[in-house]
């Protein structure tokens, strides 16, 4: 096999791996402007009898009025002894209205979404008259959202040692998605960018090494033949 053929095949092999790597990175890297579901990194603290708001919104702003929004308690599992049992929802929004038939009895007439704010991506859940039985993690989920991040988890902590607040007369609102920086999403994107740069740098260095090795071998063989 001639040196030129060897060099061509080696270069083609390197080009193929570079193409595959770049294609893979294009799939793994988050798309700029992708809509993300953002919850709260801090627990929501309340006293028994409080009205609370579990913050959850989409960033950037996205109209979710025509989508299904599910609020559930992810730590609750179906009864394994009953094959027909199912995990009911804390709140279910579907076809532009609440679906109470699939709601947990303990939350009946105690939950609501901010309907007018859903066009701006606000899917925060208001729970009235909380008790210690409401403690736990809550998951907001948009199953048909075209995004890699369709859900977020918010923790509610209700305790008698916390001072009672009045949120009924002064409704809370989630921060404007335009002014909110999703911490977890930002960190994950920075990590991805660092990994991408490191891989591309490694490929570039490997390519240069292969090129100079082949070039040096070519000159050496050419000199020995001459």
- Answer CATH for 36-180 from 2.60.40.10, 3.40.50.2000, 3.40.50.620, 3.40.1550.10: 2.60.40.10
- Residue by residue, DSSP assigns 157-190 as EE-TTSPP---SSS---PPPGGG---HHHHHHHH
What residue has token string 């992708």? 34
Q: What is the pLDDT of residue 225?
A: 66
Tokens, residue 90: 């804390």
CB atoms within 10 A of CB 172: 14
pLDDT(174) > 70? no
Closest CA to 44 of 141, 134, 177, 116: 134
Mean pLDDT, range 178-205, rounded to an integer: 54
Distance between CA atoms of residues 65 and 99, nearest Å: 14
Domain boundaries, the chain: 3-30+187-225, 36-180
DSSP state of 103: B
CB atoms within 10 A of CB 158: 21
Tokens, residue 128: 């009235």
Bridge partners, 186 (sequence order)? none
CA 188 to chain centre: 10
Q: Quick check: 154 and 44 in contact, CB under 8 A?
A: yes
Torsion angle, alpha carbons of 57, 60, 66, 72, to 10: -30
Give per-residue burial for 94-106: e unless 16+ CB within 10 Å, then b. Answer: eeeebeeeebbee
Each residue's pLDDT tens digit, 40-70: 999 999 999 999 999 999 999 999 999 999 9
Distance between CA atoms of residues 122 and 37, nearest Å: 10
The confidence band for 87, taking pLDDT boundaries of 50, 70 and 90, is: confident
pLDDT(82) > 80? no
The confidence band for 219, taking pLDDT boundaries of 50, 70 and 90, is: confident
């Amino acid at each position: 096999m001639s040196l030129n053929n060897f060099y061509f095949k080696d270069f083609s092999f390197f080009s193929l791996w570079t193409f595959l790597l770049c294609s893979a990175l294009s799939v793994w890297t988050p798309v700029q402007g992708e809509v993300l579901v953002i919850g709260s990194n801090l627990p929501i603290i309340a006293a028994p009898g409080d009205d609370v708001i579990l913050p959850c919104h989409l960033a950037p702003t996205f109209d979710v009025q025509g989508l299904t929004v599910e609020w559930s308690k992810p730590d609750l599992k179906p009864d394994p002894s009953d094959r027909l049992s199912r995990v009911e929802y804390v709140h279910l929004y579907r076809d532009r209205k609440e679906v109470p038939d699939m709601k947990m009895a303990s939350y009946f007439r105690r939950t609501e979404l901010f309907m007018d704010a859903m066009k701006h991506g606000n899917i925060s859940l208001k729970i009235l008259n909380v008790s210690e039985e409401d403690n736990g993690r809550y998951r907001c989920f948009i199953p048909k959202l075209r995004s890699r991040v369709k859900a977020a988890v918010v923790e509610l902590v209700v305790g008698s040692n916390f001072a009672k607040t009045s949120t009924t007369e002064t409704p809370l609102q989630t921060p404007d998605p335009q002014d909110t920086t999703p911490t977890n999403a930002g960190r994950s994107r920075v990590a991805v960018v660092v990994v991408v740069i490191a891989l591309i740098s490694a490929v570039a260095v490997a390519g240069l090494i292969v090129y100079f090795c082949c070039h040096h071998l070519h000159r050496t063989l050419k000199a020995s033949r001459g």
